[in-house]
């Protein structure tokens, strides 16, 4: 499986990093400039370590790349976390950087897209954009905890969210235990 992973400048960079750590696939990684700052601010992981988790790294400002073309096959695009700015650009057909270009390619080619938007509360503009994308088959997967699984710490919450992303890709994992009624 070949998966393109975009990390954008929303809070929750750890979700993208943990996805890279747990996804067993060919991983093509694009990190936006804002995401680089947030990785540094929110996590203890050096940028070079994050990049080392990927099969191939792309520069978000470069359009002259294989994955900017529909002729390059990939199985899925996951943007985690996905800023509301990037989500709204995708919904509007704006392709002004490599992440949004790959998303527009994935949309036109009918490929799987999973977006992990982190924002709260959500404005009507963002909600409309989410609905528009959802109707086009895009999986909108906000990083919302499953409180009923009784997470003990943030790691449990992140594991659950990354597990849900992997579920939507059809990838095996042991990141969370399914709900079991007592
Ligand atoms: C510390 C910090 C946290 C941010 N958190 C969010 C967030 O959770 N959600 C969001 O949509 N934007 C957030 N932003 C704003 C985005 O980084 C900004 O809209 C940026 O233009 C997104 O660009 P990108 O999608 O190309 O990374 C945050 C910015 C900073 C500096």
Å from CA of 178 to ligand 1 middle = 32
Is the CB of residue 100 below 6 angstroms from any atom belonging to ligand 1?
Answer: no
Mutate to test the pocket of ligand 1, among 34, 118, 125 (most ligand atoms within 8 A of CB): 34
CB atoms within 10 A of CB 124: 7
Residue-averaged pLDDT of the chain: 97
Name the residue among 23, 24, 15 with its Cα closest to residue 158: 15
For the stretch 90-114, pLDDT in tens is: 999 999 999 999 999 999 999 999 9
- Helix H, strand E, coil C: the string for 31-100 is ECHHHHHHHHHHCCCCHHHHHHCCCEEEECCCCCCHHHCCCCCCCEEEEEEECHHHHHHHHHCCCCCHHH
pLDDT on residue 177: 93
CA angle 49, 52, 57 (to 5 degrees): 120
Q: Which of 28, 10, 18, 9 is nearest to 106 (CA)?
A: 28
Q: Which pLDDT value is given to residue 66?
A: 97
pLDDT of residue 102: 98
Check residue 36 and give its pLDDT.
Answer: 98
> In angstroms, what is the span from residue 95 Cα to ligand 1's centroid?
18
Fold of 2-144: Rossmann fold (3.40.50)
Of all residues in the chain, what percent carry a pLDDT higher than 90?
99
For the cut 90, the answer to whether the pLDDT of residue 164 exceeds it is yes
As a whole-number percent, the residues of the chain with pLDDT over 70 amount to 100
- Residues facing residue 6 across a β-bridge: 30, 79
Distance of CA 32 to the CA centre of its chain: 12
5, 8, 10: residue to mutate for ligand 1 pocket, most atoms within 8 A of CB: 10
Q: Please indicate whether residue 139 or residue 182 has the higher confidence score (pLDDT).
A: 139
Q: How far is the CA of 119 from the centre of ligand 1 (A)?
A: 9
What pLDDT is stored for residue 117 in this prediction? 98
CA of 9 to the centre of ligand 1 (A): 4
Asked if residue 86 has its Cβ within 6 Å of ligand 1, the reply is yes
- Pairing between strand 56-59 and 76-82? unpaired
Q: What is the pLDDT of residue 12?
A: 98
Residue 2 pLDDT:
97
**Where are the chain's structural domains?**
2-144
Distance from the first to the final alpha carbon of the chain: 37
Tell me what pLDDT residue 182 has: 77
Indicate the length of the chain as a whole number: 182
* Whether the CB of 34 sits within 6 Å of ligand 1: yes
Nearest CA to ligand 1 atom 20: 9
Q: What is the pLDDT of residues 20-59, one digit of tens each?
A: 999 999 999 999 999 999 999 999 999 999 999 999 999 9
């Amino acid at each position: 499986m070949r998966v393109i992973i975009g990390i954008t400048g929303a809070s929750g960079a750890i979700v993208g990093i943990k996805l890279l750590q747990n996804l067993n696939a060919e991983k093509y990684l694009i990190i936006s400039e804002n995401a680089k700052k947030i990785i540094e601010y929110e996590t203890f992981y050096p940028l070079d370590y994050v990049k080392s988790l990927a099969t191939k790294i792309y520069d978000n400002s470069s359009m002259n790349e294989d994955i900017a073309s529909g002729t390059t096959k990939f199985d899925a695009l996951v943007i985690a976390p996905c800023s509301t700015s990037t989500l709204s650009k995708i919904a509007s057909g704006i392709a002004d950087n490599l992440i949004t270009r790959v998303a527009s390619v994935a949309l036109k080619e009918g490929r799987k897209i999973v977006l992990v938007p982190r924002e709260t509360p959500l404005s009507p503009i963002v909600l409309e954009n989410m609905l528009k994308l959802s109707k086009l088959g895009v999986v909108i997967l906000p990083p919302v905890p499953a409180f009923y699984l009784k997470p003990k710490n943030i790691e449990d919450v992140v594991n659950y969210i990354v597990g849900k992303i992997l579920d939507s890709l059809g990838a095996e994992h042991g990141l969370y235990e399914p709900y079991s009624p007592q």
